[in-house]
Amino acid sequence: MAELKLPRLNRVYLVGRMTKDPEVRQTKTGKSVLNARMAVNHPYRDGEGNWQEEVTYIDVVAWQRLAERCGENLRKGSPVLVEGRLRTRSWESDKGENRSVIEVTADRVQFLDKSGKAGKDMEYETVEEEG
Residue 3 belongs to a domain: no
pLDDT beyond 60 at 116 = no
pLDDT beyond 50 at 95 = yes
Tell me the pLDDT tens digit for each residue of 10-42. 999 999 999 999 999 999 999 999 999 999 999
Domain count, the chain: 1
Residue 2 belongs to a domain: no
- Tell me the average pLDDT of the chain: 88
3-state SS, residue 79: strand
Residue 29 belongs to a domain: yes
Domain residues for the domain of 114 are: 12-128
Between 5 and 55, where is the model more confident?
Answer: 55
Residue 43 belongs to a domain: yes
Q: Kindly indicate the confidence band of residue 117, based on its pLDDT and cuts at 50, 70 and 90.
A: very low
Q: Kindly indicate the confidence band of residue 4, based on its pLDDT and cuts at 50, 70 and 90.
A: confident
Q: Kindly indicate the confidence band of residue 44, based on its pLDDT and cuts at 50, 70 and 90.
A: very high
Our measurement of the distance from residue 19's CA atom to the centroid of its chain's CA atoms, rounded to an integer in Å, reads 11
pLDDT of residue 120: 38
CATH code of the domain in which 32 resides: 2.40.50.140
Query: What is the amino acid identity at position 26?
Result: Q
Q: Taking Cα atoms as reference points, which of 98, 80, 102 lies closest to residue 89?
A: 102
pLDDT beyond 80 at 128 = no
Residue 72 belongs to a domain: yes
Contact between 85 and 10 (Cβ < 8 Å): yes
